[in-house]
């Protein structure tokens, strides 16, 4: 429910509180004033109001207020992968560090950034432009499930989930 302006009745934008001095570390730990937030229930509550704007900035947004937070990599970490079924119709079921369940599909794709430093950086779309970085053991498990497909004449290595193919890398001739 959006707040309304008392005079015009138009929706009222949340008050901008600026920088909240909060950050999410690369490992998925949430911090406030450089101290880890130890209560998982509080972190899960904050995560429900986490948004990413069109410039890539992260915000905690309620109907009344919004404040900027820093995210070192991705706001979530995929810590577990389960597989339901097999073949192209199999479902890759991920669990995040905040116990959110995401099934890879066209709306929740897996993507891999190949960086010169640090090798592949795999991500899963979670919701509303927010992603989870795949923990290394989860990525290794995903690679174990991979197969080769021909796409545009090139051999591509990737994995299937819900009839969608997610490239994990190219195969050198």
> How many domains in the chain?
2
Q: Are residues 100 and 163 in the same domain?
A: yes
Exposed e or buried b per residue across 107-131, where buried means at least 16 C-beta atoms within 10 angstroms of its C-beta: ebbbebeeeeeeeeebbbbbeeebb
Structure-model confidence comparison of residues 119 and 38, the more confident one: 38
Query: What digits encode the pLDDT tens for the residues 36-83?
Result: 999 999 999 999 999 999 999 999 999 999 999 999 999 999 999 999
Q: Is residue 85 part of a domain?
A: yes
Locate tokens 């069109």: which residue?
Answer: 54
Q: Is residue 67 part of a domain?
A: yes
Q: Look at residue 90 and tell me whether its pLDDT is greater than 50.
A: yes
Residue 57 gets which letter from DSSP?
-
Q: Is residue 124 part of a domain?
A: yes
State the residue range of the domain holding 119.
76-170
Q: Are residues 152 and 136 in the same domain?
A: yes
Backbone angles phi, psi at 148, to 5 degrees: -95, 135
pLDDT at 29: 97
Task: Count the neighbouring beta carbons within 10 Å of the beta carbon of residue 69.
Answer: 20
Report the CATH number that the domain containing residue 19 is assigned in CATH: 3.10.540.10
pLDDT at 132: 98
Q: Is residue 4 part of a domain?
A: no
């Amino acid at each position: 429910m959006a707040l309304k302006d008392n005079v015009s009745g138009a929706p009222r934008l949340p008050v901008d509180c600026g920088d909240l001095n909060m950050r999410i570390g690369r490992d998925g730990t949430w911090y406030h004033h450089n101290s880890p937030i130890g209560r998982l229930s509080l972190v899960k509550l904050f995560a429900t109001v986490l948004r990413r704007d069109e410039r890539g900035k992260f915000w905690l947004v309620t109907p009344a207020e919004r404040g900027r937070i820093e995210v070192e990599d991705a706001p979530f970490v995929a810590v577990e992968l389960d597989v339901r079924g097999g073949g192209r119709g199999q479902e890759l079921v991920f669990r995040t560090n905040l116990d959110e369940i995401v099934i890879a599909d066209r709306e929740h794709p897996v993507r891999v950034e190949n960086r010169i430093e640090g090798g592949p950086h795999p991500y899963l779309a979670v919701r509303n432009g927010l992603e989870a970085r795949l923990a290394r053991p989860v990525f290794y498990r995903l690679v174990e499930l991979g197969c080769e497909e021909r796409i545009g004449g090139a051999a591509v290595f990737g994995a299937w989930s819900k009839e969608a193919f997610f490239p994990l890398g190219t195969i050198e001739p």
